[in-house]
C-alpha cells in the first residue's frame, strides 16, 4: 500500500538539503520498488511569513495523518526578534509535542572515509557508533512557568523550568533499553543528579526500570558535564547514551564533530508505536551558508534512511541508502564542511550515482 511522506523543508539550508532527499525518494520509487507519495507544506519562518504562524493547525493535522515527516531546518536571524511563541523554533517544538514524538534517536556514526575529518585523531573516532536517545517532548523546553517579566528599576527576570515526571522518564528509558538490547547492551544515562531534583528522579526511575524489566542491560550513570568531557576523551566507551532534552541537544552537537561534521548527523523522533515518526537532521538552518548551494545534504539523506527503517517498513532500502552515502564518501565525494569542494546538488548526485550502482 502507498505510504505518505510529508516534507517540511523549512528555512535556510532546509529546502536545499530536503530537495536532495526528495530526489532519492523519486529514484527509489522508480527503481527500487518503493511506494511512497510525497507532499510538502510550509513550516517555520516560511510559514510565519505566509500564514502568520510557524505551524498551522492544517500542517500539524497533515503531519499526524502521514506515515512519516521529513523536516529540513527552521530559524534564521530575520525571525529572531519575534516573541518566542511566534518564532520558527516554537513551531518545531509544537510539531514534536503535537506528534508526541518523545524519543529522539541521534546516531553518531563515523563513516570510515571521514575518520580524518574529525577534530579528534583517527584512532579515537574510527568505527565510532554511538546512539543518543534524547528525551524530546519534556524537560526545560516545555516546563512551566516560563517567560520574561519586568521587575521594575530596569531589572528583568527570565524563567524556564526543568520538569520531568516518572512516566516521561520511563517511556524514553524503555526505548533506550530496547535499542541497547539489539546493540552491545550498554546504556549510559546522563543527568545532573548532584544538583537537580529532576536529575535525581531521572537517575532513580531509569535504574528502577532497568532492575524491574531489563536486568540484562548494563546500565551506568554519568553526570552530564563529565559525559561532555568523556565524549572527547574516549568516545568509544559509549554505546547508547540516554539523556534529557537539553543535555541531549548539546551532547549530540558535540558528538557530531567526532563524526566529522554537523552536516552528517540525522535523527529520528519516535512516539507511540504505529504513529508517524519525525525525521530531521540535527543541524539548523545554517544562515551563514544558506542560499549558496554549499550545504551537506547527507544528514537529511540519512534522516530519510531512518524514516525508511522506522516508519516506512523498508529497512532494506534504509540499508541501501546508508551504504550509498558510505560509497559516495569512499569515492571521494565531499562538501566543504568535510573538506571537499562539492555543492549540495553535486553531493546529492554522488549519493544517487552510488545508489544506482
- Residues designated as active site: 141, 192, 225, 249, 253
Decide: residue 228, CB within 10 A, 0-12 exposed, 13-18 middle, 19+ buried: middle
Question: Three-state DSSP class for 252?
Answer: helix
Q: Which range in 46-54, 70-78, 140-148, 190-198 contacts ligand NAD by CB under 6 A?
A: 70-78
Q: Is 313 annotated as a binding residue?
A: no
Of the candidate residues 47, 73, 169, 251, the single one contacting ligand NAD (CB under 6 A):
73
Binding residues among 75-114 for ligand NAD as defined by CB under 6 A: 75-76, 89, 92
**Smaller CB distance to ligand NAD: residue 41 or 73?**
73
**Smaller CB distance to Mn ion: residue 214 or 247?**
247
296 binds ligand NAD (CB under 6 A): yes
C-alpha span between 136 and 141 (Å, rounded): 9
67 binds ligand IPM (CB under 6 A): no
Of the candidate residues 249, 280, 322, 337, the single one contacting Mn ion (CB under 5 A):
249
Q: Is 287 annotated as a binding residue?
A: yes
C-alpha span between 24 and 85 (Å, rounded): 34
Joined together, the cell numbers standing for residue 292 give 549558496
Binding residues among 73-92 for ligand IPM as defined by CB under 6 A: 75, 89, 92
**Smaller CB distance to ligand IPM: residue 72 or 75?**
75
101 binds ligand IPM (CB under 6 A): no
Of the candidate residues 16, 67, 249, 337, the single one contacting ligand IPM (CB under 6 A):
249
Q: Is 281 annotated as a binding residue?
A: no
Q: Is 293 annotated as a binding residue?
A: yes
Contact of 76 with 287, CB cutoff 8 Å: yes
For the chain, percent helix, then strand, then coil, each to nearest 5? 50, 20, 30
Among ligand IPM, Mn ion, ligand NAD, none, partner that 45 touches (CB below 5 to 8 angstroms by kind): none
Beta bridge partners of 242: 133, 189
129-135 and 103-109 strand pairing: antiparallel
C-alpha span between 111 and 259 (Å, rounded): 7
**Smaller CB distance to ligand NAD: residue 276 or 343?**
343
Question: Three-state DSSP class for 299?
Answer: helix
* Count, residues near ligand IPM per rule CB under 6 A: 7
Q: Is 160 annotated as a binding residue?
A: no
Minimal distance, residue 330 CB to ligand IPM, in Å:
28
Binding residues among 246-285 for ligand NAD as defined by CB under 6 A: 262-263, 280, 283-285
Residues 6+ apart with CB under 8 A from 232: 120, 254, 258
**Smaller CB distance to Mn ion: residue 130 or 351?**
130
Among Mn ion, ligand NAD, ligand IPM, none, partner that 101 touches (CB below 5 to 8 angstroms by kind): none
C-alpha span between 288 and 336 (Å, rounded): 13
Helices first, then strands: H and E counts in the chain: 12, 12
Joined together, the cell numbers standing for residue 183 give 546493540
**Smaller CB distance to ligand IPM: residue 101 or 351?**
101
Residues 6+ apart with CB under 8 A from 55: 43, 47, 91, 92, 94, 95, 98
C-alpha span between 305 and 158 (Å, rounded): 40
Q: Is 242 annotated as a binding residue?
A: no
Q: Which of 29, 79, 5, 100 is nearest to 300 (CA)?
A: 5
Decide: residue 254, CB within 10 A, 0-12 exposed, 13-18 middle, 19+ buried: middle
Binding site for ligand IPM (CB under 6 A): 75, 89, 92-93, 249, 282, 284
Provide the binding-site residues for ligand NAD, judged by CB under 6 A. Answer: 13, 17, 73-76, 89, 92, 262-263, 280, 283-289, 295-296, 299, 337
Binding-site entries: 76-89, 96, 106, 134, 225, 249, 253, 284-296
Annotated binding site for substrate: 96, 106, 134, 225
Which chain residues interact with Mn ion by CB under 5 A?
249
Amino acid at each position: 500500500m502507498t505510504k505518505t511522506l510529508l516534507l517540511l523543508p523549512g528555512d535556510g539550508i532546509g529546502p536545499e538539503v530536503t530537495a536532495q532527499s526528495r530526489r532519492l525518494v523519486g529514484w527509489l520509487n522508480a527503481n527500487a520498488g518503493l511506494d511512497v507519495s510525497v507532499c510538502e507544506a510550509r513550516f517555520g519562518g516560511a510559514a510565519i511569513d505566509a500564514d502568520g504562524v510557524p505551524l498551522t493547525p492544517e500542517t500539524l493535522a497533515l503531519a499526524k495523518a502521514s506515515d512519516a515527516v521529513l523536516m529540513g531546518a527552521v530559524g534564521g536571524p530575520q525571525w529572531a526578534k519575534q516573541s518566542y511563541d511566534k518564532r520558527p523554533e516554537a513551531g518545531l517544538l509544537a510539531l514534536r509535542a503535537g506528534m508526541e514524538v518523545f524519543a529522539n534517536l541521534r546516531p553518531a556514526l563515523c563513516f570510515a572515509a571521514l575518520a580524518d575529518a574529525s577534530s579528534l585523531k583517527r584512532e579515537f573516532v574510527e568505527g565510532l557508533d554511538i546512539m543518543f536517545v534524547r528525551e524530546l517532548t519534556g524537560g526545560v523546553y516545555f516546563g512551566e512557568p516560563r517567560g520574561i517579566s519586568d521587575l521594575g528599576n530596569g531589572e528583568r527576570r527570565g524563567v524556564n523550568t526543568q520538569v520531568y515526571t516518572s512516566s516521561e522518564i520511563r517511556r524514553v528509558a524503555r526505548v533506550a533499553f530496547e535499542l541497547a538490547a539489539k546493540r552491545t547492551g550498554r546504556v549510559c544515562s546522563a543527568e545532573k543528579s548532584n544538583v537537580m531534583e529532576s536529575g535525581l528522579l531521572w537517575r532513580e526511575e531509569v535504574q528502577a526500570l532497568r532492575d524491574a524489566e531489563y536486568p540484562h542491560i548494563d546500565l551506568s550513570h554519568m553526570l552530564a558535564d563529565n559525559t561532555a568531557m568523556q565524549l572527547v576523551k574516549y568516545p568509544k566507551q559509549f554505546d547508547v547514551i540516554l539523556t534529557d532534552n537539553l543535555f541531549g541537544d548539546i551532547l549530540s552537537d558535540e558528538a557530531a564533530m567526532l563524526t566529522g561534521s554537523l552536516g552528517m548527523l540525522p535523527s529520528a523522533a519516535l512516539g507511540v508505536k504505529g504513529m508517524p515518526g519525525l525525521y530531521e537532521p540535527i543541524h539548523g538552518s545554517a544562515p551563514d551558508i544558506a542560499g549558496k548551494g554549499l550545504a551537506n545534504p547527507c544528514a537529511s539523506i540519512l534522516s530519510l534512511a531512518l524514516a525508511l527503517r522506522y516508519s516506512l517498513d523498508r529497512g532494506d532500502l534504509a540499508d541501501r541508502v546508508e551504504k550509498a552515502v558510505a560509497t559516495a564518501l569512499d569515492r571521494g565525494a565531499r562538501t566543504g564542511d568535510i573538506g571537499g569542494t562539492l555543492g549540495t546538488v553535486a553531493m546529492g548526485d554522488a549519493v544517487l550515482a552510488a545508489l544506482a550502482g
